């Protein structure tokens, strides 16, 4: 036991003798220096870096980068698809509560879904008071209403994207028109100044 | 935040108010007498209830459903107001795509005009710079400008 207490003191004295500040690395329990460095190195670069040896002289001697991925791919164990499309409600197994029309009136449907939601919440309150064991169906109804609401809102996003694009394009057209006007004005002013200068020169 | 994100936040907050309301009511509900055969609870429970009512931060139990349902209705009304504020232009997808095509054509035209003006302006700039260079050279050589 005595040697255990003496050991850190001895190490501290030794490290101070070496003009190093004592640190926790000097504790005898910590792994020795050689083993520590092996666990701390970065992984080596991938071995095909040698193929790019002459890239600066001849860019076509090295292999091309891989083409962009199409279709589905696996990333960290999950499957992803390159096509970003909103999956329809039937694919998620949720009943669709608003009419499946190509031009659905979003405001009307959102408002009617809101009414349905309030009604179902009241029904749930009633069921919990009277027949508490039948809550599951009501909860299922409420959650499908929420899913419908979110699906409707998500299907508004492409419309929003197109509207944003239209807005940006209108802004850009306006800026370009402004720039054309500016350039015309400056050119005319420059012509005028030049003419004045010639007139003054000729007048001399 | 854009209106669709606000709508989504509002839907989520309606859901949060709902389950918080039901959870609070279920947690704080006083016990219900199951059958008239069982005796009333002892007056010690009445003293505990009075002590809780004196505390200004706890709301009395009969008022909680009123507050929670008022919150729920307010949130639902807010959702309706946001839906009314949706700037949905009628015409649907085809009208938007047609408008985008028109804007693209107009953008191209005005881009070409801008390019033409820019080239003419650069040409004139070069001419002026040349003239200025000649005038400066003449001044250097002390020649009379003709």
Bridge partners of A79, per DSSP, are A74
Predicted TM-score (pTM) of this structure = 0.65
Q: Is A104 on the interface with B (CB under 8 A)?
A: no
The answer to whether the beta carbons of residues A42 and A32 sit under 8 Å apart is: no
The answer to whether the beta carbons of residues A180 and B111 sit under 8 Å apart is: no
Going by the DSSP 8-state scheme, the letter that residue B86 receives in this structure is -
Name the residue of chain A whose CA is nearest to B109's CA: A173
Name the residue of chain A whose CA is nearest to B81's CA: A111
B49-101 residue pLDDT tens: 555 555 555 667 778 888 888 999 999 999 999 999 888 876 678 888 999 99
CB neighbour class for A170 (10 Å; exposed up to 12, middle 13-18, buried from 19):
middle
Is residue A129 very low, low, confident or very high in pLDDT (cuts 50, 70, 90)?
confident
CB atoms within 10 A of CB A4: 8
Count CA atoms within 13 Å of residue A174 on its CB side.
6
Contact B118 A146 (CB under 8 A): no
Contact A150 B121 (CB under 8 A): no
At residue A151, the pLDDT reads 86
Cα angle, residue A124 at apex, residues A119 and A128 outer, rounded to 5°? 150
Q: Which of B93, B103, B110 sits opposite A180 (nearest CB)?
A: B110
The answer to whether the beta carbons of residues A153 and B11 sit under 8 Å apart is: yes
> How far is B70 from B21, CA to CA, in rounded Å?
11
Closest CA to B7 of B74, B86, B70, B68: B86
Q: Is A119 on the interface with B (CB under 8 A)?
A: no
User: Taking 80 as the threshold, does the pLDDT of residue A14 lie above it?
Assistant: no
User: Taking 90 as the threshold, does the pLDDT of residue A152 lie above it?
Assistant: no
- H/E element holding A202? helix A157-203
In sign, the C-alpha dihedral spanning B133, B137, B140, B142 is: negative
> How far is A128 from B26, CA to CA, in rounded Å?
9
> How far is A164 from A170, CA to CA, in rounded Å?
10
Q: Which of A102, A160, A183 sits opposite B121 (nearest CB)?
A: A183
Name the residue of chain A whose CA is nearest to B78's CA: A114
The pair of structure tokens assigned to A25 is: 């690395």
User: Taking 70 as the threshold, does the pLDDT of residue A5 lie above it?
Assistant: no
Residue ranges in B85-141 assigned as alpha helix (H): 92-140
The answer to whether the beta carbons of residues B14 and B79 sit under 8 Å apart is: yes
Name the residue of chain B whose CA is nearest to A143's CA: B15
At residue B126, the pLDDT reads 94
Q: What is the ipTM of this complex?
A: 0.72
Residue A71 backbone zone (phi > 0: left; psi -120 to 50: alpha; other: beta) = left
Buried b (16+ CB within 10 A) or exposed e, B103-121: beeeeeebeebbeebeeee
What does pLDDT average to over chain A?
Answer: 79
Cβ-based contacts of A166 with chain B (< 8 Å): 96, 99-100, 103
Closest CA to A149 of B132, B10, B103, B74: B10
The pair of structure tokens assigned to B114 is: 């801008």
Question: Which residue in B5, B15, B146 has the most chain A C-beta atoms within 10 A of its own C-beta, making it the best mutation to test that interface?
Answer: B15
**Mean pLDDT (whole number) for A90-113:** 77
User: Which residues 59-98 of A have a C-beta within 8 angstroms of B?
Assistant: none
A22-79 residue pLDDT tens: 555 555 555 555 555 557 888 888 888 888 888 888 888 888 888 888 888 888 888 8
Q: Which of A149, A158, A169 sits opposite B107 (nearest CB)?
A: A169
What does pLDDT average to over chain B?
Answer: 83
Domain ranges of chain A: 87-197
What torsion, rounded to 10 degrees, do the Cα atoms B12, B16, B19, B24 define? -170
At residue B52, the pLDDT reads 57
Total count of residues recorded for chain A: 204
């Amino acid at each position: 036991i005595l040697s255990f207490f003496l050991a850190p003191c001895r190490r501290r004295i030794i490290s101070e003798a070496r003009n190093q500040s004592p640190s926790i690395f000097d504790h005898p329990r910590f792994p020795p220096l050689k083993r520590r460095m092996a666990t701390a190195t970065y992984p080596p670069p991938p071995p095909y870096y040698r193929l790019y040896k002459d890239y600066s002289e001849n860019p076509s001697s090295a292999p091309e980068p891989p083409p962009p991925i199409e279709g589905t791919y696996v990333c960290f164990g999950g499957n992803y698809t390159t096509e970003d499309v909103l999956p329809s409600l039937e694919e998620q197994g949720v009943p669709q509560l608003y009419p499946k029309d190509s031009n659905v009136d979003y405001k009307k449907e959102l408002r009617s879904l809101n009414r349905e939601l309030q009604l179902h919440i009241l029904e749930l309150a009633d069921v919990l008071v009277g027949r508490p064991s039948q809550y599951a169906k009501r909860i299922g109804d409420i959650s499908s209403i929420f899913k419908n609401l979110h699906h409707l809102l998500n299907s508004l996003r492409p419309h929003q994207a197109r509207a944003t694009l239209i807005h940006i394009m209108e802004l850009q057209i306006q800026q370009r028109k402004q720039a054309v006007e500016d350039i015309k004005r400056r050119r005319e002013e420059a012509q005028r100044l030049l003419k004045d200068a010639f007139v003054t020169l000729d007048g001399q | 935040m854009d209106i669709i994100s606000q709508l989504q936040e509002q839907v989520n907050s309606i859901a949060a108010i709902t389950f918080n309301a039901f959870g609070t009511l279920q947690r704080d509900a006083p016990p219900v007498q199951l059958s008239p055969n069982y005796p009333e609870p002892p007056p010690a429970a009445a003293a505990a209830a009075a002590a809780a009512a004196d505390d200004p931060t706890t709301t009395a139990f009969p008022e909680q459903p009123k507050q929670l349902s008022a919150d729920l209705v307010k949130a639902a009304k807010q959702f309706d107001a946001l839906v009314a504020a949706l700037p949905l232009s009628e015409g649907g997808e085809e009208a938007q795509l047609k408008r985008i095509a028109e804007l693209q054509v107009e953008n191209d035209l005005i881009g070409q005009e801008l390019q033409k003006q820019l080239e003419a302006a650069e040409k004139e700039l070069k001419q002026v710079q040349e003239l200025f260079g000649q005038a400066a050279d003449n001044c250097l050589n002390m020649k009379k400008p003709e």
